[in-house]
Structure 1
């Protein structure tokens, strides 16, 4: 008797982001195949899976960064707070102001610590007066756990900070415009264990104010920081569940094989 077809649509209550039947091609090469996923509000959702499985491609669909890739083609819908971000009427610049992005390698602007944070709010007209910008900079650095370390040297170049501090600066920069969603693409892979622990503590604190989606190759990190985890393989979501269940009682053999180190 054939086993019942597994429902690949992963629904959660209070979803901030709803992805339905999302497929992506780079030229003739298909990278994502009919992905369905809900991202819970004010939670951390981790995307795990072997290299080249589509995690980062999926993440970049959530703020339309794949639009910048020549010959990319996307089908399906990505709704954030009920708005399909691929609707032709959507202003992509405005969209990205609501979705912060933190990359694998810290990438501060070649500007002062202050200007790294103030740049985007100033461009978007969020800080008309210097006092308003000062408040945004201080609030962002405090939320990123960096204020006490840099408050007396805000005019110092951001590139003069340590790697872990630079990544926290990039997180502060990402949240300076008060986004509703923060995307993180392996934010700790270039950091030492001490800096990684600091970033993980920060992620846990930030989820009170932001919906976070993180790509990580580190299964232990996913287990530590994420409330939900999606396992990608060959451009598909094989399994999605709350993190504790997925790691302790996976329903799919591919998931079990991956988290127990049989491949990947």
Structure 2
């Protein structure tokens, strides 16, 4: 396909990535391409390294004492571990949504306005109002909270809080959104909302999601990477990984023989 944006533009690329916590090696020689405008699901048993890998994509591991990352991770052409990289700017380009919704103890408005303020993305209050509205709309929350922006973000339901955290990530116009089990603290209806939202967001963003739920991975992702004991066992098209994996460890995990 030669039409400009072909199906497999690579947004982020990891090569020979090793991650150590002190002496313990958590990830071994990870090679993975993250495709643009697709959802990539990272699956595998607990403690297999999938969250560690996710956190290496926006240098969240920098905040963990004794953590060391080796290898190469690129965002487009930028080597994100280059010493010259401004981590604050990097995390604006590669946003993160955590397992438990963690809105700031501020108003709904201030939760979303926070990032754009820090990054100087709005010239004035009108522009900031527009960014807040657009981000809440993109996160599917505007209809519910548009008329009560001054209320505390912490007063929302769990599912709404998670969408507020997504709006907060979107407000700084990221290119990539990392989600670390974003639905594990939510009920099935709130989970369905977030899954629909992820599907809409991939039109404009590149998304990487760690999930414990294989059903969720199958529903929301186009690409799947299976991690086991710190190794990337295989990755590829989600349908293929779920119906015809090439490695018996993947087969075993997917059919529930271990995990």
What range is the shorter-chain TM-score in?
Answer: over 0.9
1:250 is matched with which residue? 245
1:144 is matched with which residue? 139
Report the CA distance between 1:261 and its aligned residue.
0.3
1:104 aligns with 2:99: yes
2:166 is matched with which residue? 171
Would you say the 8 A contact 1:98–1:179 is kept in 2? yes
Report the CA distance between 1:163 and its aligned residue.
0.4
1:9 is matched with which residue? none
For 2:71 and 2:161, how far apart are their aligned partners in 1? Answer: 36
| Aligned positions of 1:56-135 closer than 5 A | 56-135=51-130
| Aligned positions of 1:19-34 closer than 5 A | 19-34=14-29
Can you list the C-alpha shifts for 1:109-165, whole angstroms capped at 9, x where unaligned?
A: 000000000011001101120000000000000000000000110001001100000
Report the CA distance between 1:93 and its aligned residue.
1.1
For 1:111 and 1:128, how far apart are their aligned partners in 2? Answer: 22
State the secondary structure of the residue aligned to 1:89: coil
State the secondary structure of the residue aligned to 2:16: strand
For 1:93 and 1:206, how far apart are their aligned partners in 2? Answer: 23
For 2:182 and 2:47, how far apart are their aligned partners in 1? Answer: 17
For 1:13 and 1:166, how far apart are their aligned partners in 2? Answer: 33
Structure 1, unmatched stretches of 5+, are 1-11
Would you say the 8 A contact 1:122–1:128 is kept in 2? no
Q: In the alignment, which of 177, 190, 193 is matched to residue 195 of structure 1?
A: 190
Q: In the alignment, which of 188, 196, 205 is matched to residue 200 of structure 2?
A: 205
Q: In the alignment, which of 239, 244, 248 is matched to residue 234 of structure 2?
A: 239
| CA RMSD in angstroms, aligned pairs only | 0.7
Runs of 4+ deviating beyond 3 Å: none
Say how many residue pairs are matched: 253
1:183 aligns with 2:202: no
Tell me the TM-score normalised to structure 2 length. 0.97
For 2:42 and 2:94, how far apart are their aligned partners in 1? Answer: 17
Can you list the C-alpha shifts for 1:139-192, whole angstroms capped at 9, x where unaligned?
A: 000000000000110001001100000000000000100000000000000000
State the secondary structure of the residue aligned to 2:11: strand
Q: In the alignment, which of 136, 155, 164 is matched to residue 160 of structure 1?
A: 155
For 2:69 and 2:94, how far apart are their aligned partners in 1? Answer: 19
For 1:40 and 1:255, how far apart are their aligned partners in 2? Answer: 21
1:214 aligns with 2:209: yes
Would you say the 8 A contact 1:22–1:34 is kept in 2? yes
For 1:73 and 1:149, how far apart are their aligned partners in 2? Answer: 43
Report the CA distance between 1:13 and its aligned residue.
2.6
State the secondary structure of the residue aligned to 1:164: helix
Structure 2, unmatched stretches of 5+, are 1-6
